[in-house]
Copies of this chain bind each other. A is one copy, B any other.
Amino acid sequence: MDTKNKIINSAIKFFLHLGYDNTSLGAIAEDVGIKKPSIYYHFKNKEDLFILSTSYILESIEEKVTQSIENSYSAKDKIERICLSLIEFNHNLSAQINNDYNKPINMINLFHTAANKFPILKKRINDYYTFLHKTLINAMLTGQKNKEVLKEIDAKSTSMELLAQIEGHLVISSLFSNYDTSSIHQSIFNIISNLLTNNEPSKKFFKHKTKTLSLNTKW
């Protein structure tokens, strides 16, 4: 990995851990094994580094979501995979980042800071949610054509419900120690099974497809 990627890699770690303001370029430099001014050779300034780092995370998620449904033709399967991709991305990111400390990590927090501080990231994050929203809606609409999904379902509000459920669970899991990790799978399963024409009445547990989303690759 070249220095530039090392810096972004480390920056993401720090930004997720400490936020934008509490992350100092000196700390990133030390982590990478260079001196502070060297960062300025690769990036214009701290803002530039932050914007690129955040954009990289967003691109990675979108890529993983797209890949996850590539070979899937059932609406149920697609929706499940999209939701699982989001959850697993967050979990993998936490697992990778949360090595030393015992602090809650949450991408939402990063997104919020990003949207607040930098208009370009506000737009980018909005595009990210638009992408997720559209992808979920498309899965439902094709499912309705196949008679797999109930025709009365409103795809837009259901997509919003799924996204809110996922983001909400991720947020609460980092703030509430009593949180039960499995409950998000149950919730998503409930929402999805309510969409389907062959809705099995017994509330089975959501099958957890552990197709791990690798974050160990280059940033």
Contact = CB atoms under 8 A, between A and B. Distances in A.
Interface residues on A, range: 35 or more
A57 to B, nearest CB: 14
Interface string A160-189: 110111111101101111111001101100
Closest 10 CB pairs of A and B: A168-B168, A164-B168, A21-B21, A129-B176, A167-B168, A164-B169, A161-B187, A160-B183, A109-B112, A157-B183
B167 A171 contact: yes
Nearest to A184: B164
A133 B165 contact: no
Contacts of A187: 157, 160-161, 164
A141 to B, nearest CB: 16
A130 interface: yes
A112 B116 contact: no
A113 B116 CA distance: 15
Nearest to A169: B164
Contacts of A176: 125-126, 129-130, 133
A55 B106 CA distance: 22
A183 B171 contact: no
Given A161-B190, A169-B164, A171-B168, A177 B115 contact: no
Interface of A: 18-19, 21-22, 103-104, 106, 108-109, 111-113, 115-116, 125-126, 129-130, 133, 156-157, 160-161, 163-169, 171-172, 174-180, 183-184, 186-187, 190, 194
22 contacts: A103-B116, A104-B115, A108-B109, A109-B112, A112-B175, A115-B174, A126-B176, A126-B177, A129-B172, A129-B176, A129-B178, A130-B178, A156-B180, A160-B183, A160-B187, A161-B165, A164-B165, A164-B168, A164-B171, A164-B172, A167-B167, A167-B171
A104 B156 CA distance: 22
A104 B129 contact: no
Given A157-B186, A165-B164, A174 B104 contact: no
A138 to B, nearest CB: 15
